[in-house]
Structure 1
Amino acid sequence: MSEPKSRRRGAELEQAILDAAWAELSELGYARFTVEGVAARAGTSKPVLYRRWKNRAELALAAWNQRVPAAKGVPDTGSLRTDMLAVFDRIALRTGSMMSGMIAGVMAEAFRHPEVAELLRSRLTQPSPLTEAVRTVVDRAVRRGELPPVEVPLRALRAPLDLVRNEYFMCGQTLDETTIAELVDEVYLPLLRGLRAG
């Protein structure tokens, strides 16, 4: 392998690696995605990558998370329903921009490698910008009197992402307005209203 192209360090080097990883994923897909390929494209070495990411799944997820940032701000339309429609719409746009083959590859890797399964599990069991946005929308609805005071567990806060992701993978296309409205009206709002009884 040729010598590294420059003495990049820190944030500059990490950005170059993540850009290279995204390019590899875009051109080759996850099945042919390798740490060696990313290192060569970034003009660095495999040990440099492994100091930051334990395996190719972690690197792929880091590249995607950085390339497709979460929408900024929390919807505040004055209504629980329209706030939730906006949340679901943002998730659908983000999911539609995701390379489903790459995510499917990471999921398949999880079945073969316990460390990858643990990575995915840890991401799912931690609060995230999305779960905090949903919590904020619910808290505002409580203050407006649309919902009684309610404690929303993490799984319920994560449910919008789970619902959209499941629909996307089952149908293989970006969700339209009708589908998003059905998920909000027929599934998520009833779920929130059901929590109050508990």
Structure 2
Amino acid sequence: MPAHRRRGAELERAILAAVRDQVDRHGYANTTYEGVAAAAGTGKAVLYRRWATKAHMVLAAMAADEQIDLTFTVDTGSLADDLNLALRGGRDILDHRREMVVGLLADLDPGDPGWGQSLFSNRISVVLGPIVDQARARGELGDAPLPPRVLAVPLTMLRHDTLVYGRVSDDDIAEIVSTCIVPLFITASRSPAGAFDS
């Protein structure tokens, strides 16, 4: 009986899983089209038809990763404490993927629209949305919606400090939250409509 030939979404899921496995096993720098194709049981031409560069292939795999643990988003009863937990969870993910992120930043074209959103921000609303909603319900935040750029600030600061300084400590996260994020969220949530629009 001939082997089942995968197509479409089934094949793409297998390829993206193989990409993540290769990055985990060999690091971003040593992940290759050849290795991914062999691991996925397909040909290099199949990969090249989907992604013109390794960076875009890895980016797609990470953006589609459903195994990233977002369970650190809980209701502690405090906006600051919720943000501290969320950023600690984000720090652990970035620490694990630091070499990959550095490689992607080096390889991706900054003029390529949307790559940063896909890499860093595609799950911001999943993580921070409930935190903001809980803070509103407790009266810690006002009713004005937080613009996407404001909502992205916690991850942006965490990413910057991780890539520039290395591992970010719990004290560093607490300082980011107390001096930057909480005041910004409070101000933006209590500002007139359009005040924070870009």
Counterpart of 1:118?
113
CA–CA distance in structure 2, aligned partners of residues 24 and 110 of structure 1: 19
Q: How far did 1:97 drift?
A: 1.7
Q: How far did 1:146 drift?
A: 1.4
Q: How far did 1:71 drift?
A: 0.9
Would you say 1:17 and 2:12 are equivalent positions?
no
Q: How far did 1:144 drift?
A: 1.5
Residue 59 of structure 2 aligns to which amino acid in structure 1? L
Q: Is the 8 A contact 1:58 1:119 kept in 2?
A: no
1:3-59 Cα deviation digits (max 9, x unpaired): xx8634455543442343234324543334332331133221123223444432122
Q: Structure 1 residues 121 and 61, CA, compared in 2 at 3 Å: closer, same or farther?
A: closer
Would you say 1:164 and 2:158 are equivalent positions?
yes
- Structure 2 counterpart of 1:134, from 128, 131, 136: 128
Q: Please, which runs of 5 or more residues in structure 1 have no aligned partner? A: none
Would you say 1:146 and 2:140 are equivalent positions?
yes
Q: How far did 1:133 drift?
A: 3.1
Q: Structure 1 residues 93 and 68, CA, compared in 2 at 3 Å: closer, same or farther?
A: farther
CA–CA distance in structure 1, aligned partners of residues 106 and 37 of structure 2: 23
SS at match of 1:33: coil
Q: Which has the higher helix share?
A: 1
CA–CA distance in structure 2, aligned partners of residues 28 and 146 of structure 1: 45
Counterpart of 1:82?
81
Q: TM-score, normalised by structure 2?
A: 0.78
Question: What RMSD over aligned residues (CA atoms) do the two structures have, in Å?
Answer: 2.8
CA–CA distance in structure 1, aligned partners of residues 15 and 126 of structure 2: 29
Q: Please, which runs of 5 or more residues in structure 2 have no aligned partner? A: none
| % identical aligned pairs | 35
Q: Is the 8 A contact 1:135 1:152 kept in 2?
A: no
1:118-173 Cα deviation digits (max 9, x unpaired): 24145279x73322432332222122211222221101111111111111112222
Q: Is the 8 A contact 2:72 2:86 kept in 1?
A: no
1:84-126 Cα deviation digits (max 9, x unpaired): 112112211211221x222212111224x85xx324145279x
Moved more, 142-151 or 62-71: 62-71
Counterpart of 1:45?
43
SS at match of 1:103: helix
Q: Is the 8 A contact 1:21 1:60 kept in 2?
A: yes
Q: Structure 1 residues 94 and 109, CA, compared in 2 at 3 Å: closer, same or farther?
A: same
Q: Is the 8 A contact 1:83 1:137 kept in 2?
A: yes
Q: TM-score, normalised by structure 1?
A: 0.78
SS at match of 2:29: helix
